[in-house]
Amino acid sequence: MVQKKLFLVLLLPTVLSAQEFRATISGRVSDSQNAIISGAKITATQIDTAAKFEAASDADGIYTIPFLPPATYRLTAESAGFKRYVREKVAANSNERLGIDIQLEVGEITETIDISSDSPILETASASTGQVISSAQIENMPVSGRTPLALAQLAFGVVPNTDPRFTRPFDNAGPSGFSMGGAPAQVNELLIDGAADNTGNLRVAYNPPMDAVTEVKAESFQADAAYGHSGGGTVNIVTRSGANQFHGTLYEF
């Protein structure tokens, strides 16, 4: 009887939890008179890979493009009787909710409205607060120990409380020895591409190479219901993806 019960337990499915690290772009499509436009085709094109993610505005003019890998995108909108809308250099970071309203102008679809402003977009679609350490910072900033998680200590609301000598790739306690949002040290949720990267005592389990990481996002306050498995904040390390052009790195350390 005991053997039968053990066999049934082994057959039970195992649930592996992960947090959503991809981005979302949403907004409202209207004309110059602020009238809603339904059925508009919205496309987010990833610059490095030319991968396309599409959506259409609904009866209320609302569109949503979810599950975008962290990257830079070109956002376009098309609708019959209106000029084509193009917005360049839309940076969608890890677990970011971008609210971008689109206003179309009457005209031929062969005509184009180019929006090339590099001004930052306010994140009005989420109450979470955090800071992204970008790929440019990761590539150019000298880091003792070459451990990406140590870069999280540069974000606001993060206070290191460990010996900086022990942040080497094989160290577990040193790189994760920081507090977030006033919480005690080493009670934070550490992730790689949304998957858990904590040991049983909430230290970091694995430190990827610097060259394999595209961004580090530290969120001192995470309002997303998918998070909150710790008493502190959340740090998500996002690894690099492929691109259409051959590239690589070489370093000596």
pLDDT at residue number 127 = 65
pLDDT at residue number 126 = 66
pLDDT tens digits, residue range 153-181?
888 889 988 888 888 889 899 899 999 98
Q: Is there a contact between 158 and 130 (Cβ–Cβ < 8 Å)?
A: no
Checking if the pLDDT of 8 tops 50, the result is no
The 3-state DSSP class for residue 159 equals strand
CATH T-level topology, domain 23-115? Immunoglobulin-like (2.60.40)
Checking if the pLDDT of 184 tops 90, the result is no
pLDDT at residue number 14 = 43
pLDDT at residue number 100 = 92
pLDDT tens digits, residue range 187-216?
899 999 988 999 988 899 999 998 899 999
Intervals of CATH 2.60.40.1120 along the chain: 23-115
Specify the CATH architecture of the domain 129-239: Beta Complex (2.170)
The distance of Cα 92 from the centroid of its chain, to the nearest Å, equals 7
pLDDT at residue number 130 = 77
Intervals of CATH 2.170.130.10 along the chain: 129-239
φ, ψ at 196 (rounded to 5°): -60, 135
Checking if the pLDDT of 251 tops 70, the result is yes
The 3-state DSSP class for residue 139 equals helix
Closest-CA residue to 80 (of 43, 37, 114, 28)? 37
* Apex 60 CA angle, 59 and 61, nearest 5: 95
Of 13-22, 221-230, 241-250, which one has max mean pLDDT?
A: 241-250
Alpha helices in the chain (DSSP H): 2-11, 135-140
Checking if the pLDDT of 11 tops 50, the result is no
